[in-house]
Amino acid sequence: MLEKYLDIKPEIKKALEEGKAVVALESTIISHGMPYPRNVETALNVEQIIRDNGAIPATIAIMDGKLKVGLSKDEIESLGKSSDAIKCSRRDIPFILAKKLDGATTVASTMLIASMAGIKVFATGGIGGVHRGAQETFDISADLQELAHTDVAVVCAGAKSILDIGLTLEYLETQGVPVVGFGTDELPAFYTSKSGFGVDYRVDTPEELAEALKTKWDLGIEGGVVVANPIPPEYEMDPAVIDSAISEAVKEADLKGIKGKESTPFLLAKVKEITGGSSLDSNIQLVYNNAVLGAKIAVELSKLK
Beta bridge partners of 57: 23
SS3 assignment, position 24: strand
Q: What is the pLDDT along the chain (305 residues), one digit of tens a residue?
A: 788 999 999 999 999 999 999 999 999 999 988 889 999 999 999 999 999 999 999 999 999 999 999 999 999 999 999 889 999 999 999 999 999 999 999 999 999 999 999 999 999 999 999 977 777 778 889 999 999 999 999 999 998 777 899 999 999 999 999 999 999 999 999 999 999 999 999 999 999 999 999 999 999 999 999 999 999 999 998 888 888 888 888 788 888 888 766 777 787 778 778 887 788 899 999 999 999 999 999 999 999 97
In order of 52, 63, 228, 300, the CA distances from 48 in angstroms are 6, 22, 22, 19
Q: Which domain holds residue 155?
A: 2-304
Q: Are 49 and 291 in contact (CB under 8 A)?
A: yes
208 is catalytic: no
CATH assignment at residue 265: 3.40.1790.10
Q: What pLDDT score does 261 carry?
A: 65
Q: Which of 22, 101, 13, 10 has its CA nearest to residue 55?
A: 22
The per-residue b/e assignment along 183-211, b for 16 or more CB within 10 angstroms, e otherwise, is ebebbbbbbbbebebebbeebeebbbbbe
14 is catalytic: no
Query: What total number of domains does the chain contain?
Result: 1
Q: Which of 44, 51, 2 has its CA nearest to residue 23?
A: 51
In the chain, the amino acid numbered 35 is P
Calpha distance 283→177 (Å, rounded): 24
Q: What pLDDT score does 162 carry?
A: 77
Q: Which of 13, 26, 75, 296 is catalytic?
A: 26
Count of CA atoms in the C-beta half-sphere (13 A) of 158: 32
Q: What pLDDT score does 301 carry?
A: 98
In the chain, the amino acid numbered 145 is Q
Q: Which of 9, 68, 120, 160 is catalytic?
A: 160
Q: Which of 251, 284, 287, 276 has its CA nearest to residue 266?
A: 251
DSSP readout, 25-80?
E-SHHHHTSS-TTHHHHHHHHHHHHHHHTT-EEEEEEEETTEEEES--HHHHHHHH
Q: What pLDDT score does 264 carry?
A: 72
Q: Which residues contact 102 (CB under 8 A, 6 or more apart)?
A: 61, 62, 63, 79, 82, 84, 85, 86, 96
Q: Which of 131, 189, 182 has its CA nearest to residue 153?
A: 182
Q: What pLDDT score does 26 carry?
A: 98
Calpha distance 282→242 (Å, rounded): 11
